[in-house]
Every structure is written in C-alpha cells, then in structure tokens.
Chain A
Amino acid sequence: MRLRNHLRGGAVVAAVALTVSACSAQAGGGDTSGEGEVAGEITVITQRTDIVDTVFQEYKAEFEAEYPDVTVNFEAITDYEGEIAVRMNTDDYGDVLLIPNSVQPDQFATFFEPLGSVEEMGQEYRLVEEKAYDGQVYGLSITVNTQGLVYNKKVWEEAGITDLPATPDEFLDDLRAISQNTDAVPYYTNYADGWPLSQWDGNRGAMGDPAYQNTHVAHSDTPWAEDEWHGISDGLLYDVVAEGLSEEDPTTTNWEESKTLLGTGQVATMLLGSWAITQMRQAAEDAGGSAEDIGYMPFPYQVDGTFHAQVAGDYKNAINVNSEHKAAARAWIDWFAKESGYAHDEGGISPLLDGPMPETLGDFEAAGVEYVELEPAPQGKESYEADVVAAAEIDLYGNIYRQQLVDVARGAGGGDKESFFADLNQRWADARASVGE
C-alpha cells in the first residue's frame, strides 16, 4: 500500500502481445456475452482514481441516458494490480474490470467472458489479439498508446538544439547541452513512484521489427547486450543517471509534481507513453505556461534512417465471467470504446480501427515516425516470456530492477554498468534454461 499515485492515463501494458495466431478455426465463434437483456446494476472497476468522481460521472449520465435500465457504479482502486489480484480469488471483482497484467493468457477463460473471435472483433477494433487466447478476445483497449519522450520545447530550444536526437549518444549530447546552457534538470526519472520507470520496457517496436519479441527478449540469453532493446533502453537510462543528467535525489521524486516541473521548464525531458502528453499540456497551462511548449519525440534510435514507435493497447476492459448482468456489462464496454471519447480525451489513439489519429501525435507525424504493432506470440508460447520473467525475478514490466539500475548508476549501489548488465544477462540465461525453450 504505498503512497503511489497509480494515476496515469494508462498503465504500462506488458508489451508482450499475448495471443494466438488467428489461424485457428473459428469454433462457432459468435458473441457469447451479449445475450440477455441490457438491464441491471453493474459495477465498473477503474484505476482512474483521479477522474472517477468527475469525468466518469459524465460517462455514467450519458450511458444511462442511452440505456435507462442500467445503473452504473464505479470502484476506483489505488493499487490496482495488487488489490484486484486478491479479489480475483473470489467471484466478486465487479462486472467490468481491467485485465490485470498478472493474469496469464491461459487463465483468461477462467476469469473473463469471451467477447468474440479475434477475426470478427479484429475487423472493428485495434490490437484485439493482445488479450486473446485460443482465438477468443477477452478485452478491449480503453485507449491505445505509442511510446516516446515528452519534453519541454522551450528548454530544448534554449539549449540550442534544433534536430531530434537519432541515437542514444546524440540524446546524451543534447542533455549535456541542456545541463550546460539552461537551468533545467535535463531528465527526470520519477524513480520514487516506481511505475514511470516501467515505461522503459514498453517500446520494443523502436527496433523496427514487428517480430522482435518472438526472436529476442525471452528468446535471447543476453537481452542486455549493447545491440538488444533492453541493453539500448536501460543502457540509455543508466548513462543519463550516471552522468548526473537527472534529478539530484531520485528517492523523493513526485509524479504529480513532475508534470508541473516539465510544464514550467524546470525539467526538460521524461520518457513516457503518449497518454502523458495531454496531462503535461494541462499541467503547463495550469502553471501559467502554454500547451505549445510540450513536445513529443520518438525514442532516439533509428533503423534505416527512420524512427519507429510501438503502438500498444492500454489496459483492457473485460467482463467478469461471474457477472449477473453480462449484457449490460457488454453494452458498457462497447459504449466505452465507441462513444465515451475516453481515448480522445486522453490524447490516445482510438481503439477503433477507423478512429482518427490524435492531434497530440502531430510531432510524430512531422518526424516521420513509423508505427509498429508487435506480432503476438505463437500459439503455445503465450506465457513464455512471463515465465522467464518470474523465474529470473527480473521484473521486466516493473520498476524494482530499474530502481536498482538507477541506484548503481548514481553510485548508490555496488558495481557498474557492465557488471550490472552482466548479472541481469546471467540471471536471464539461467531462467531461460530452467524454463526451457
């Protein structure tokens, strides 16, 4: 129960797209969850403790106007992952909830109602295979994010930087320039809240290869080698901290405060999902700045002269398999994706295939960023990466080992970059050996 503000426009979604190749024959398919009357009282569980009493109340009013026989109640959970896991050991985990990252694909059917086949749902929605198993879809993204770095344009300009950094080294040079020529802190880790560090995992698509995680990461003995994604991304984080280009005392950072710091130009850069752009713009305006000051740049890594950025779904709305009002729950999920405007309000990409690209990503278009959707894991391999993560006890999608990395980098832990990465690689390889290919 930390004082964590798990308040972000989106959680880090484990970049592992856990799916089944959609080749399996459709077993009668069809929509199993929409039957019965759209009526009754449903409980919707959300992680948005910040807007549950405001924006979500508007959603409720609109939805209930459209479906007068349904009453919607919300439960907002502060420590979503921790508490929902405890509750899911009973039948009582709301009617609509977000699929927690800890649930393995082969457990989906135990907890959630299937929403339809991958083929059918895939004609309307993006990234349905991320939470699908055996050809069935179990969750719909509340919004879709891409990954990059949110930055304060004024500060970067003040430091005399004109071009987007295209390599980690250029990025470091730019941060040095910011450090020398401005008063701003070049980079802010948000170490204390923990979850922002997990964002460093979520951009495997930057490698430009949709099949990347089916050939690397869990399929490599050295994910922290210099030319692999974790070596590149975590390596950059290490270098930024080791050179003193990040905040003075990472242990007392504060997420809410960081938005103001970036908005007012006291901090220049943070690596965060695209969901953060809207929040940063808001913070800049609240602090007397301008939304125009907030820019979004791709991760400083190019393949064949092009930037790539991963597109992945945020948390997914799902229906509790034990719900007594599945039709009403289903109506809510569909309405949330199509009508609520949540994704748009968050500056996210619409979960609908024909939804518009948000204007927040104008910078990406200008930079010619190519979006990459990662291929799902092949059938029978859906849980493989999660198994390796558990066996290695390296929380790839979390913050524990990255906090240690920051500690080592700032000289507060033993060892150096090489020894730290060597140890990670060693533990990873051992875990792979124990799990077996």
Chain B
Amino acid sequence: MAVLTGVLARGRTSGSGRGPGHGLPVTPWLFLIVPLGLLVLFTYVPVANMVWYGFTSWDGLDPVKEPVGLDNYVRIFTDPQMFEVFFVSLYYLAGAAVQLVLALYFATVLSFDTRFRNFFKGVLFFPYLINGVAIGLVFLFLLRPGGTLDATLALVGVSEPPQWLGDPSLVNVSLAATSVWRYLGLNFVLFLGAIQSIPGELYEAADLDGATSWQKFRYIIAPAIRPIIGLTTILAISGSLSVFEIPWIMTGGANGSTTFVIQTVQQAFQFNKFGLASAMAVVLLLIVLLVTWIQRRLFPDERVDLT
C-alpha cells in the first residue's frame, strides 16, 4: 500500500497495478464523465468545427461550406499584412516586461516590514478584479483630450499634452499601459507568494555566514521565484500574441492598434470570410501551443502553475 503510494507519488503510470479492493479500473472515468462531457461539448466540438471551417471558404452564414484545401493557410503565410499586426504585440510584450520588473520590485519591497502593507498590497492588486468594460470606460475617461491624465499633467506644468490615443506613435503605448495597469496586480501577488514561501531559517543561516543583501537576493530569493518568472514570461508572450479585449473596447483596432485577434474578428464579420478567420485562429492557437511547448522544455521540472 505504502509502496503503491510511493509509486503514485512518483507519477509512474504503473498500468493497472491495482490489488483487489480498489474498485474497478473504470472508476476514474465515472468521476470524469461529466467534466469531460462538458469539455468536449463546449470546447472540442467548436474547435473541431473551427479547424474544419479553416479548410473552407465559408462566409459564416451559408448552409454550404465549399472546401478550398489549404488556400486559407497559403494566404496567411504568404500575405505579409497578416503577420504585420504581430508588431503591435511587441508593445504589449514590452509592457509585460515592465510589468514583470515592477511586480518583482513591489513584491520584494512589500515582503518585509512596511507600514500599511496590506493597504498597498490591496491597492496594487485590486485593478485585476475589475470588469473589463468598466476598465475600458475608466481609461477612455483618463486618456481623452482634457481628461484625467491631461488634467494631472497640467498640475505639474505640462500644458500641451499629446493625444494619447490619437497619436499613432502613442496609441499602442497607451493601450499597453492600460494592460499593465490591469494585470500588474496578479503578477505582484504571485511573486509575493513565492517570496513569502521561503523559509526564514534560510536567511538566518545566511546572516550567520555574513552574506550581503545582494547575495541574499541572488542566492535565496532569485531561485525561489525563478519558476514563477519563467512561467510569467511565457504567459506574457502568449498573452501578447492574443491581445484582444482592451484595444477592441477602446479603439476598435483603429489608428494602427489592430492586433491579430482583432484582425481575425474583422475578417469574419466585416468581410464574411469565416473560413479564413478560422484558419487564422488555428494558426494563433498553434503559435500559442508552440510557446507553451518551449516553456515546458525550458522549465522541465516546474510544478508551478498559475491560477
């Protein structure tokens, strides 16, 4: 029994190494039937359909879906316009990097005695919980000419602020900043948790050895949060590739803020090219999967997961 537990714990699939009294081998499926049923029904059936549509020239309405082989994929990989929009993702990626550094900094700072710790922690985290539509409204209010941001800048003597959404060189910066504002809290709380899970004895031991602060950070904190950083980085990359909500609500993709997903939606609903849009969605999914796979290769032993 204990042996079995050990085997299980080491995660070796030992076939049906069950003795009597363990119930039938089918029992796990009894527990899984409902969850898997829902999963198949509401995720995999639609995904399978999406893959199928990707090989047709369907317009989104017609009962008939003409197969066109690989035409849609050929178009995606030969039309430079299709991938140009991924440049927009770079803004969000840069935003993600800033977000990571800030989150790490605040997590470190708030890991030790600070006045009003919980207040700071709460304020930094709360934006993550807010409704996306409300965020869109709040930031339109902030960024419009004469809005909150301009008024704030006027206080510090900036009289001629730029157009935060109107200037094509700034629009994606503004949108990425909105995104940072929204998601910083999550990263911060994750880092905080990771740092706080380090046993205090380690520091005491380090103190006895006369380690400097930098050494402590480098040899105690960094290893503890490395998995989380690795994970966050990967999530940031795939997140940047599939940005949708914030630019869609705030600018609708106008003024050069179109992302790949917005382009997909436009192909489907503006040009009735559902087949092409489905193929684009499949390509995006494959890219995200590739990124995930790379993550699994780079951090093979992580049991980290983000919730």
Contact = CB atoms under 8 A, between A and B. Distances in A.
A and B interact physically: yes
B143 A252 contact: yes
A324 interface: no
B181 interface: no
Contacts, number: 87
Nearest to B254: A403
A54 interface: no
A250 B166 contact: yes
Interface in A298-339: none
Contacts of A3: 133, 136-137, 140, 249
Interface core residue of B60, B136, B143, B272 (most chain A CB under 10 Å): B272
A412 B269 contact: no
A380 interface: no
A133 interface: no
Contacts of A192: 251-252, 254
Interface residues of B, number: 33
A249 B61 contact: no
A403 B262 CA distance: 15
Contacts of B251: 192, 251
A216 interface: no
B22 to A, nearest CB: 46
A123 interface: no
A102 to B, nearest CB: 5
Interface string B164-188: 0111100100000000000000000
B295 interface: no
B17 interface: no
A370 interface: no
Contacts of A191: 254
Contacts of B140: 3, 252
Contacts of B253: 400
Given A2-B248, A412-B168, A413-B168, A251 B255 contact: yes
A81 interface: yes
Nearest to A249: B166
A412 B273 contact: no
Given A3-B133, A390-B273, A400-B266, A251 B60 contact: no
Contacts of A412: 166-168, 255-256
Interface string A103-133: 1100100110000000000000000000000
A102 B61 contact: yes
Interface of A: 1-4, 81-82, 85, 88-89, 102-104, 107, 110-111, 191-192, 194, 248-252, 389-390, 393, 395, 398, 400, 403, 407, 412-413
Interface of B: 59-63, 133, 136-137, 140, 143-145, 163, 165-168, 171, 248-249, 251-256, 266-267, 269-273
8 contacts: A1-B249, A85-B60, A102-B269, A107-B62, A252-B140, A400-B253, A403-B255, A412-B167
